[in-house]
Amino acid sequence: MLQLNTLLALASLASAAAVEPRQTASQVVKLSSIENVAARSNGQILATNMNSANLYTIDPEKKTSATAVVVTGASGLSGIGEYLPDVFAVIGGKGIYKVDFTGASPKSSLIKTITEANNLNGLAVFDNSTVLVADAGKGTVYKFDVNTGAYSSVLTDATMAPSGGIPFGIDGIKYRDGVVWYTNIFKNSFHKVVVDKVTAKATGAFTTLWTNLMGDDLCFGPNGKIYVATNGKNSLVEVDPTAAKPAAASVGSVTGSTSCAFGRTEKDKNVAYVGAGAGVFAVTIKA
């Protein structure tokens, strides 16, 4: 969402929640306009940029970055998720691509284009053959089969609807244990909905958790908490999903934070890697 900086900055002024950062994040690598991040089991971090077809790989120990693969056919990349070991689904424009790291070298291929999509952004893994894709321009979520390319709209609600000058609505999205969690960036809101574990269609009410803090993408922590990048509010916040009234508590200061993913090795399992305007940063989450 970094090409929307001006509108995001204006929208963040209307965000009333006061979140004081516990720590300033440390920069892992300098890269421009990181949109989304994902962690591999080998310790590497993957990063996307909506203005580039390069999928970057980052070594957080050496603090180096390189292009892992160029996703041919995409002009830019956004949401990313691992649906099989070392196999990722990546949004590139209106297309959903497969990026496979299981061979001698990574390979990318187009699975299918969602032709009627308006502005695809967030992606959540639903199971090992299905992802959920958020269309920020339409305010809807598609259920997408990564094996066949079959897809359908399964979730649409006013809380996902676009607003603002772009317009842009539902942004970050993640799924776990029958619940879809998502943000609406220009409405400064965070939501959840219980869904059927097979169809991904809503079986409960669309619930709003807050309406006063900008939220971009999000991730699950090893402690069961949810972490939300706040973009124009320049922070990473922690949310306890089991709380009666979940609230945001800042755990780190990251300018223009867009996304997050936790490390997957023993050394960094408590480290949130945060995508941002100036690169990828690390926030250590203390117990």
Q: Rounded distance, CA 127 to CA 193, Å? A: 17
Strands (E), 62-188: 64-70, 80-84, 87-92, 95-100, 107-113, 120-127, 130-135, 140-145, 151-156, 170-176, 179-184
| Beta pairing partners, 272 | 262, 283
Amino acid identity for residue 271 in this structure: V
Question: Does the pLDDT at position 58 exceed 50?
Answer: yes
% of the chain surpassing 90 pLDDT = 88
Q: How far apart are CA 55 and CA 77, in angstroms?
A: 8
* 1: Cα separation from own chain's centroid: 11
Residue 15 has pLDDT above 80, yes or no: no
Between residues 265 and 16, the one the model is more confident about: 265
* Residue bearing tokens 């842009």: 168
Grouping H, G, I as helix, E, B as strand and the rest as coil, residue 74 is coil
Taking a C-beta distance cutoff of 8 angstroms, is the pair 120, 135 a contact? yes
Report pLDDT digits (tens) over 118-148.
Answer: 999 999 999 999 999 999 999 999 999 999 9
The domains found in the chain, sorted by start residue, are 2-284 (2.120.10.30)
What pLDDT, on a 0 to 100 scale, did the predictor assign at position 4?
52
The rounded distance, in Å, linking the Cα atoms of 134 and 182 is 9
Q: Whole-angstrom Cα distance, residue 28 to residue 73? A: 29
What pLDDT, on the 0 to 100 scale, is given for residue 165?
83
**pLDDT confidence bin for 1, thresholds 50/70/90:** low
Residue among 157, 166, 76, 174 nearest 122 (CA): 174
Please give the full DSSP string across 1-61, using - where no structure is assigned.
-GGGHHHHHHHHHT-------SSBPEEEEE-SS--EEEE-TTS-EEEE-TT-SEEEEEETT
